[in-house]
Structures are given as structure tokens and as C-alpha cells.
Amino acid sequence: MNIKTQTIETHEVVTVETVSVASNVDVQRITTVRTTGTQTTSSVTERVVHHIVTDDTNFGHFAIIEPELIDDLRLTGWFSKEKQWSMVSKTPFTRVMDCQKPYQIVRIKHYDNTVYDVDGKQLPVAIRFNYIDGNVNDYNFDLKGLLQHLKARQDCLLHTERFGNSLIHTIPSYNEGGTSGYYGLEFVWQPTTELFRQYVELASKNDRFFRLEAAHTVMGNDKFRITHKEDENS
């Protein structure tokens, strides 16, 4: 058996360009040029890197974003629209080097749908409420009183029924009754930074399932709660 052996020598040069965009946060452009025989190929990748030491396995990642994404998340919620994904730069080095356009640096945590500025302060993200999420139903709340309260707020966007104009929704028959009630409200809370940080502080004192209850408290919704005897005895 004849064995033919061929040795091909490959030469690779990697160039890393780095620009600091914040304390412990850089953007990089990595250019790789590979020569094999008479053929030369090249590839370019861009990324955001940080030098922060943390034990948090869900620390998230830094990103370069369009400034309008911050307010968009506050008004509509966590990446609720396709265009929001396009506001996160896939070529962060190039985006930073475009001196004609401002940008923002944030840390994104998909683990719990939170976003932070470069100083580690949590930024507001809209929160959705309905008869399930936040238990906004006639078993738990005086809906008429709560509705007037929410209408008077500047940071709540109320939704009408899917097939009607009423702001008080009829709960689907397969879910109605018991602690789900028969009627409910659906709205989006669009908190200011100040109110959102009050909410974050209050929510942090309990487990993550308490977060919507904390939001109700910060919005002043608790005074419209209905107390049941079984609640008093629990």
C-alpha cells in the first residue's frame, strides 16, 4: 500500500483593535488573515468585552445600542417588537467609530429580562398586567375604582377587550371563577426611572414571584384590593 503524504503550511495573523467605551468595557474588531499555500482568506468579527470580576453566573453581557431602545423598552416591554432587536448593534466596533451618531452602552440580562446602565443601575422596562399576571381581576380588586385610578395616571396604558371597546374585560369561560374572577383589566405600566427604582428596591426584599405585587404597591393599587376571609385567616 502506497501512502502519499502532503504537508501544507498555514500562516495566520490575528489583529485585535480595541477601543475603551467605559470603565472596564471595550469594543474590539478582530481581523484574521490566513494564508494557505497561494490562497489567502480573511475574516472580521466585532464584540463587546468587559473586565469586571463577578461571581454572578447570570451577569449578562454588555452591548452597544441605539439610544431610543432605552425608552422603547420602558414604553413597550422586554423586546416585544422585532425592531428592538435591530437596535442592538451586531458590529459594535464599527458603530462606536461612527462619530456622527450617539450610542448607549448597557448590560443586558436575558435571564430575568433586565437591563442596566454602565454604572450597574437598573433601567425601567414596561410591565404588563392582566387577570393572570398581577391578578388584576374582580376577585382581587375593585375594578371600577382601580380603573379610574389607572386612568388618572400618566404611566399606564390601558387595553380594551380584543373584540370590543370595554376596558373591563370578560375573562374567558375556561378560566373564569374562583380566584380568577369573572372580569379583569389589562394594562402596561410604563414607569419613570425614579418609580422603577422604588419598585426594584421593594421587589428585591422578596422572591421574584413578588415583583408584580411590589409594582401594585408602588402604583398605589393596594387600596383597591378586596380582602377575603380566607386571606385574613392565612
pLDDT digits (tens, 9 = 90+) for 173-197: 999 999 999 999 999 999 999 999 9
> Do 135 and 87 fall into the same domain?
no
pLDDT digits (tens, 9 = 90+) for 51-101: 999 999 999 999 999 999 999 999 999 998 889 999 999 999 999 999 889
Q: Which of 44, 46, 34, 45 is nearest to 8 (CA)?
A: 34
Instruction: Give every CB contact of residue 172 below 8 A, 6+ residues apart in sequence.
Output: none
**Contact criterion met (CB below 8 Å) for 139 and 226:** yes
> Do 16 and 104 fall into the same domain?
yes
> Do 87 and 135 fall into the same domain?
no
Specify the pLDDT at position 229: 74
pLDDT digits (tens, 9 = 90+) for 37-54: 889 999 999 999 999 999
Specify the pLDDT at position 80: 82
- Average confidence (pLDDT) over 128-135: 95
The structure's pTM equals 0.86
> What is the β-pairing status of strands 169-170 and 183-184?
antiparallel
**Contact criterion met (CB below 8 Å) for 64 and 96:** yes
**Residue 3 belongs to some domain of the structure:** no
Specify the pLDDT at position 231: 61
**Residue 121 belongs to some domain of the structure:** no
% the chain with pLDDT above 90? 84
**Residue 4 belongs to some domain of the structure:** no
Q: What are phi and psi of 97, to 5 degrees?
A: -75, -10
pLDDT digits (tens, 9 = 90+) for 99-125: 889 999 999 999 999 999 999 999 999
Give the chain's mean pLDDT.
93
**Res. 233: pLDDT tops 60:** no
d(Cα 166, Cα 153) in Å, to the nearest integer?
18
> Do 139 and 103 fall into the same domain?
no
**Residue 191 belongs to some domain of the structure:** yes
Domain count, the chain: 2
